[in-house]
Structure 1
Amino acid sequence: MFRLPPINLYIHIPWCTKKCGYCDFYSYVNKNIIPEEKYIKSLLKDLEKDLKLTNQRKINNIFIGGGTPSLLHHNSIKNLIYGIKKRAKISKYAEISIESNPNSIEYKRFRQYKKHGINRFSLGIQTFNSYLLKKIERTYNKKEAIEAIKEIKKINKNFNIDIMYGLPNQSLKHVLSDLKNAVKYNPTHISWYQFTIEPNTPFYTRKIKLENENIIFKMFHQGDKFLKKSGYIKYEISSYMKLNYQCKHNLNYWNFGDYIGIGCGAHGKITKTNGDIIRTIKNKNINDFINGKYLHSKKLVLEKDKPFEYFMNAFRLYKPIYKKHFQEYTNISLDSIKKNINKAIKKKYILENVNSWETTKKGKFFLNELLTIFLN
């Protein structure tokens, strides 16, 4: 019944020119020259160690995130991609994505990135409103955002635009204007998600207020309706695509696939041939990482925690969850979650079919409550 899931590669580039007040992703503010060459060499050595855990599985897709990966010189991207292909089996159909910001110094590198194998770009626009961009401490304006999109369209069809709603002082009119601007440039994918303020961020410390929940719901309802009318298919809670343009790397997360995580603070999930699932976290200290101390922690996912970890991802998707898939990727029986499933059905969070489960509209709306049913 058990089988090894597909595996991807995530690469974390930890530098930013400025730390945004709401951001809780792991990153360093760069005030000096980035030690690119040393970091790339360390990434490849980190990869070599993790590949030993993967049973020589082929890597299906690669995602370079951050931080701000587009701060790297194109030769660094070239050396990184070449080094990965030299060490690992990579699918010839691999989607190789890079996150980028629309600052002019960064988007001028896109053409060179494409030459070195990048075939999908993800632009962190967030909003086209220059006033709101300043409020959330982004380092570009509307004009630069549009120029970056135009530059990408010249060189690559497949690209994503990140947009947020519920920003401080943002109106419903602003939200719909952002989406109209995004759709105007016909991206193959739009990530549209709610602005949140996480603990341990400057905005949290400064007690920046979020919009009223009723206003947020109106923004979501009308924005969701607009995107669907504009020809985008919603396949995940905050992801909209043109036909066949899902983000393959993120889809692998949500389908409970494996992924090697390399770089400062990167997380990984690797399933062993005996069915054990290993979670890895890499060292967050850049100096330690460059000096060869890659691994921060490695732990075994306990059997009792596997259902929660599986459904935490799968319930985000707008498609049936097949029982066979659950068994194959968790290596545990359906009987062990029968009580949890029945409770979720009783609360009308999910529907059960002979071979699958489906999340209801209520289940999607109360996703956290649904997940707590499977939490030990």
Structure 2
Amino acid sequence: MKNITKSVIALFAVLALSCSVEDVEDRPVIQGVDTPELVAPENDKSYVLLEENADDVAERFVWTKATYAGDVEIGYKLLIDVKGGDFTKAIELGGTSGATQTEVTVKILNQAVIELGGTPDQLGSYDIKVVSSLAGIEKMMSETPLTILVNAYTGLIPYEFTDWYLIGAAVQGDWTNNADTKHQPLFRSGTNPNLYQFTGFFKAGAFKLISKPGQWAPMYGKGDNGAIVARPTEADPDPSSFEIATEGYYTFTMNTETLKYTLVAYNAAAAATFTTVGIIGDSTPLGWDASTALTQSTFNSHVWSSNVLPLNDGKAKFRANNAWDVSWGGNTAFSGFPNNGASGGDLPVAKSKYKIYFNDLDGSYLMIPNQE
């Protein structure tokens, strides 16, 4: 009985294997026949884009239907590149499933032009093509591009805040001051733009605050009785430094309206350490499916950052170890720290290129837009 059972199992295994091989060998290859070609708008049409019309439709692009050797569902993507570009770094303007036209808003067209290096308030030439595909596999691109002329606006999103960075022997970057030095910024309150905070590791030594890496003013230093002293220009007197007597973890807070600061010890002994921390959400490159990893600081293992990351309109969160058992959110754009903008909600994000900083000790975040 056992031998019969073994024979039956072996027979099914052979049949399954042979079916799989034949399926692969006999799978029909669907060939592309006619590429999709743009028919509207007219060639060399000009557009003057205005920020106040960002949500309006700039244009409806129409193309001919791609044909394949078979009755199949065809997907399309509308792409833009600089005039004469090879479309290897083209930007997607929109996509459809079956439809041979799509509307593109002023905002989307403008942002694509800016990302392609367009100069605001100057007319530039750009090529448009359509790519058709079958389940993302068999692709055909327009043979002849449609050229449009676009006068774009800056595309910068409003960011009327001042960021402050730690500099000195006690902090990351030491006293080296140039634009390329990775100085640690303070995290700004999401509800009070004058309130700043940073919790993290400090060496024994001194530090000050600067707002523009590479420049020594504006600056804040230490005054008497918990006061901060401003140095508006480099012609003004250099203020005293804040001092760290013993290396360890501290929370530094300052208010640029009241001109007061606090510096208190922080107990990090029980703080969790993480292998990875990333940003996730429909605004991020990988959507809600996977985290985009941030880089861990070599000076402070609880601080994570991303140099320049393009994000879309949408939401985001931070999470540890590519899982959802530990995650952090926020309810204010750009920045927040506990009780001043950080929460368990999803962070609101506007499309731009960002420098991102995150602190896993307390969930503080800072996202600085309009990066090159």
Instruction: Tell me the TM-score normalized by structure 1.
Output: 0.23
More helix by share: 1
- Larger relative strand fraction: 2
Could you say which structure has the greater relative contact order, defined with CA pairs below 8 angstroms and 6 or more residues apart?
Answer: 1
TM-score by length of 2: 0.24
